[in-house]
Amino acid sequence: MTASAVVTRQGATVDIVGVSKSFNQRSDSARVVLRDVNLTVRSGEFVSIVGASGCGKTTLIRMVAGLAPYSSGMIRVGDTIVKGVPKRLGFVFQDAALMPWRTVRANVAMGLNETGALLSKADARTKVEEAMGLVGLSAFADYYPGQLSGGMKQRAGLARALVSEPDLMLMDEPFGALDAFTRLRLQEELAAIVARTTTTTMFVTHDVDEAVFLSDRIVVMSTSPGTVKDIIEVDLPRPRLRREGLLDNRRAAELRDQVLGLVIEDQAR
């Protein structure tokens, strides 16, 4: 990773107030997926969302992204109530979702979205180069996705999300499909990027150690229907740039056990 950094603006706040989500079923009934979710994410904060499968983690951040409607309640990003995709939003999926016929550089440039029209061609190129440098892909700018490893594809997806200098970044298990070694490397790289920016981040994961390493707070969700069960403050010093630094950290172990206990307790009900 290069020393250059994408300088972001102030991160957005996210307010989720009394939000519920249900899906209609054939027998004129509704399946309630989320009920009365209340959460505030502060500007520049990194918040992980954990919980058992089916608790609505992905549904929640898709609603924050304006990709799915909510049935009741209110979601506000910055000063704007979410009724569509918010401006200056970055989204990183578990599948990097790169266009296979485009180079890494061209895929990253797609992330400029509405900000691209405000830039000269030279400035747009500079931002793309900076974003690729930030994730260590400068040497692979002219490669196509089919020539990249899984970890490199996720780096490209992260660069695409960062290139527009987002106020809010949403990440849905971005490292879930990677091997353990690559996952650890990318966690460390993401931690380094977070340390250099003020972007607000909401991060969905099943990996509690990952959540403890990256987060300012961890939101634990319960199931049937999903709601916020508890919010754990991660009171470990920053910057946290190396995972091995937490391997023998007693407080990190306590936090991990606390979060796991809440998730396991919910599954046992």
Q: Supply the DSSP symbol for 140.
A: G
Bridge partner residues of 20 (DSSP): 72
Overall number of domains in the chain: 2
Provide the pLDDT for residue 185.
Answer: 87
Q: How far apart are CA 138 and CA 180, in angstroms?
A: 24
Contact 166, 43 (CB under 8 A): no
The parent domain of residue 137 ranges over: 100-164
Q: What is the DSSP string of 44-76?
A: T-EEEEEESTTSSHHHHHHHHTTSS--SEEEEE
Residues 23 and 72 in one domain: yes
Residues 222 and 176 in one domain: yes
Provide the pLDDT for residue 248.
Answer: 76
Provide the pLDDT for residue 215.
Answer: 96
Provide the pLDDT for residue 3.
Answer: 38
191-220 exposure pattern, b = at least 16 Cβ within 10 A, e = fewer:
bbbbeebbbbbbbbbebbbbbbbbbbbbbb
Provide the pLDDT for residue 203.
Answer: 97
Residues 36 and 59 in one domain: yes
Residues 225 and 194 in one domain: yes
The CATH number of the domain holding residue 60 is 3.40.50.300
Residues 106 and 140 in one domain: yes
Which of 122, 145, 164 is the last residue in one of the domains?
A: 164
Residues 139 and 202 in one domain: no
Confirm whether 55 is domain-assigned.
yes
Tokens of 63: 């609603």
Confirm whether 1 is domain-assigned.
no
Confirm whether 4 is domain-assigned.
no
Sign of the alpha-carbon torsion through 179, 182, 187, 190: negative
pLDDT averaged per 10 residues in sequence order, the chain, 269 residues: 48 95 68 90 96 90 93 94 89 88 94 73 90 92 94 92 90 88 88 87 95 96 91 91 79 94 78
Residues 116 and 29 in one domain: no
Contact 63, 142 (CB under 8 A): no
Which of 164, 184, 214 is the last residue in one of the domains?
A: 164
Q: What is the DSSP string of 101-139?
A: TS-HHHHHHGGGHHHHTTS-HHHHHHHHHHHHHHTT-GG
Query: What is the CB neighbour count within 10 angstroms for residue 81?
Result: 11
Residues 76 and 170 in one domain: yes
Q: How far apart are CA 13 and CA 10, in angstroms?
A: 9
Which of 115, 132, 164 is the last residue in one of the domains?
A: 164
- Nearest Cα to Cα of residue 163 among 109, 204, 101, 82: 109
What's the pTM? 0.89
CA angle, 100 then 106 then 201, to 5°: 95
Q: How many residues are given for the chain?
A: 269
